[in-house]
Amino acid sequence: MQLRPFGTTNLKVSAVGLGCNNFGVRLDLPATRKVVHAALDAGVTLFDTADIYGNRGNSERMLGDALGPRRKDIVLVTKFGMPMDGSGGRQGGSRHYVPRALDASLERLGTDWIDVYYYHRPDPQTPFEETLEALDALVRAGKVRHIACSNFSAAQIRAAQTAARAKDLTPFVAAQDQYNLLSRGLEKEVIPAIEAEKLALLPYFPLASGMLTGKYRLGRPMPQGTRLSNARYSDRFLNEQNFRVVERLQAFCAARGRTLLQLAFAWLLAKPFVAGVIAGASTPEQLRQNTDALGWDLGAEEIAEVERLTSRAG
């Protein structure tokens, strides 16, 4: 397994990380253990979860149970900020809530520290300075090693980093956003901000919820039980334009004896600001397919051709 630098930190992470949002929803504890152990055996060191995953807390609980003493061998990422109940009190980035959210995550995960703690989405009710002060205190206490942001606009990234510098607070070291061959919206504003601030990017949905595996075909029935059979995800990716782009990419891969899965990962990992890709897995076999897809180093001409083939991707 290839290890890559995590931005400006001293962390090294596996090129493919395990997204843990299936735990506690699609997978029970025994199934979670099988996937986590397969990931560890394959050399995966990056595990990405959030307090809200798994019906609010179960992903963290199951991941902590499955890791056990191997927790010290991995880079553990979790997030805070999304509503954890309907009260309105267990969410956001206030100075009162942030330490409570972290302590709850630490207890569920069975650990004393988080390697990278993500602000899951901006809280419009709380100034960045207040949230950053709360996070800085957690870093100074040794409970968190690094902090990061998710789903921030370019302006919000710049504002948060400016606030951290102005008050000598711990800055963000990474961002996590949707980015793949079919979702290129970040390239206009967010990625320039990420590069200017020297942040690492951890793309989520690197396979466009399965569209970039090649198993979905225009005009054919949707496989049952897949992520894209859920309207929440199908509305993002299932459209004729994306199907046409996928067809072109499949032909590109076939001419080179490669797979679409390999291309999806290789294209992202060719970006110098990408630390690794977060890919979910519901079985050990799927996990191994993801890790086995590494190893294609795209040349400049191949990258240019892929850019041409995806030029109409949204």
Task: Grade residue 241 by pLDDT with cuts at 50, 70 and 90.
Answer: confident
> 55-76, pLDDT tens digit by residue?
999 999 999 999 999 999 999 9
Task: Grade residue 240 by pLDDT with cuts at 50, 70 and 90.
Answer: confident
Known catalytic residue: 204? no
Mean pLDDT calculated for residue range 170-187: 96
Least Cα distance to 46 among 8, 26, 19, 70 occurs for 19
Catalogue all structural domains in the chain, each as residue range(s) with its CATH number: 3-211+263-297 (3.20.20.100)
Catalytic residue among 53, 97, 117, 179: 53
Mean pLDDT calculated for residue range 289-307: 95
User: pTM of the full predicted structure?
Assistant: 0.90
Calculate the average pLDDT of the chain.
92
Which residues are within 8 A (CB) of 94 and not within 5 positions of it... i.e. 6 or more apart?
123, 125, 126, 130, 131, 134
Which residues are within 8 A (CB) of 19 and not within 5 positions of it... i.e. 6 or more apart?
48, 204, 278, 279, 280, 281
Q: Do 214 and 228 contact (CB within 8 A), yes or no?
A: no
Mean pLDDT calculated for residue range 157-168: 97
Give the pLDDT confidence score for residue 314 in this predicted structure: 45
> 31-52, pLDDT tens digit by residue?
999 999 999 999 999 999 999 9
Q: Do 16 and 296 contact (CB within 8 A), yes or no?
A: no
Between 68 and 213, the higher pLDDT residue: 68
CA 234/CA 231 separation, integer angstroms: 5
> 2-28, pLDDT tens digit by residue?
999 999 999 999 999 999 999 999 999
Give the pLDDT confidence score for residue 286 in this predicted structure: 94
